[in-house]
Amino acid sequence: MGRRGPSELQTQVLAADLCTACGACLGHCPYLKSLGERVAFIHPCPRSEGRCFDVCPRTSLDPESLDRQVLGAPRRHPILGGYDGLYFARARDADVGARGQYGGVTTALVLLALESGMAGAALLTSGTPTREPRAVVARDRDTVLAAAGTKYSACPTLEPLAGLLRESSEPVAVVGRPCQVAAARKVEAREASGRLAPVIGIFCFWALTPAFYRFLEGRRDLERATKLDLPKDGGMTFAVNGRTATVRLDEIRPFIRPACQACFDPTAEWADVSVGSTEHDAAWNTLVVRTARGRDLVERARAAGALEVKPYPLERIPVLEEAVQRKKLRVLDALDAGQPEVAYLGLREAQRAAVRAHGRA
């Protein structure tokens, strides 16, 4: 591959509008800064190679290598990735459930990780539904609860990670989108072995650009919105003073980040646990347990009475798999066509074939 660094990051990712705004490169280079959700060099960097390029999830991504690193074995499933448990789950704490998204599982697990000592700090995304979110380092319950709820945009949540790893030896929990999970694992492999505990991935099929928030500024009826949702049917909904306001999906689509079209992993396959909606029952989350550390976290949460878990309904599994497979097939078609935005993805032919063949009678 030769040496790669800031120059290649600029041309291959930033200038090509393929940045996912994960934040992993920030903190590694004094010349890289973020403004809102835009990452840019504020001064030419003289290095010919650098960590900024190495940790970016859009410079190169080898699913097989990440499977070995995180799972210790080839993936169990060509569509959902490696996992040893698939469930419906929800928080037992009423306050956590009310503040969190759907069943509040992510919030409950972060609180358990901090309270049990599994993590000394947690990287989270905080903000209101109508303002650009921001990265926060949480060490207490109030900060975690303030960050509860899904944000449908690409906050550079990993921006504080490099500093945390340099400044202390505490284990750091990470909650992020699939691209952020992949980036965090690249950081872990390079410089943070054993420091990420746990990594919680959020299902994400796309994120929105900052222009979305400028669009919302014209909606005075949404100023006091407290929660944002994207149900399976209908448009984007906002909870405002006990009622629901809706923005049509056609008005939202122009704000989807171009980089999201090249994403092959909507379920955060290299997390310890992945959490998403059920698209069936808004009181529960889908919970995918992927690693031994993830299993330990979930079992601790159950034993502490923080989490209620039940088997994933068998009839719902094909629905989940079909949605993820459709996303993967679009990326495979782009790979076959030689489109440059998916060139980062190092998929073996056997992996491509397994995705295409899944579900065929």
The residue type at 299: E
| Rounded distance between C-alpha atoms, residue 223 and residue 79, angstroms | 39
Given a contact cutoff of 8 angstroms between Cβ atoms, the answer to whether 200 and 275 are in contact is yes
Please check whether residue 94 lies inside any domain of the structure.
Answer: yes
Q: What is the pLDDT at residue 326?
A: 97
Non-local CB neighbours of 254 within 8 Å, separated by 6+ positions? none
Q: Report yes or no on 230 lying in a domain.
A: no
The H or E element that residue 35 is part of is: strand 32-35
Domain limits for position 195: 63-209+256-324
Centroid of chain to Cα 204: 6
Does the residue 145 lie in any domain? yes
What's the CA gap between 331 and 344, in Å, rounded? Answer: 11
Report yes or no on 29 lying in a domain.
no
Instruction: Please indicate, yes or no, if residue 355 is contained in any of the structural domains.
Output: no
Structural contact between residues 182 and 158, judged by C-beta atoms closer than 8 angstroms: no
Q: Tell me, yes or no, whether 191 lies in a domain.
A: yes
CB 202 within 8 A of CB 187: no
Q: Where do we find the tokens 């072995």? A: 193
What is the full per-residue pLDDT of the chain (361 aa) written as tens digits? 446 889 999 999 999 999 999 999 998 888 899 887 889 998 888 888 888 999 999 999 999 999 999 999 888 899 999 999 999 999 999 999 989 999 999 999 999 999 999 999 999 999 888 888 999 999 999 999 999 998 888 999 999 999 999 998 999 999 999 999 999 999 999 887 788 989 999 999 999 999 999 998 888 888 888 888 887 777 899 988 888 888 999 999 999 999 999 999 999 999 999 999 998 898 999 999 999 999 999 999 999 999 999 999 999 999 999 999 999 999 999 999 999 999 999 999 999 999 999 987 5
Residue 8 lies in a domain: no
For residue 45, the model assigns a pLDDT of 86
Quote the number of domains for the chain: 1
Please report, for the domain that includes residue 82, its CATH number. 3.40.640
CA–CA gap between residue 242 and residue 154 (Å, rounded): 27
Residue 50: inside a domain? no
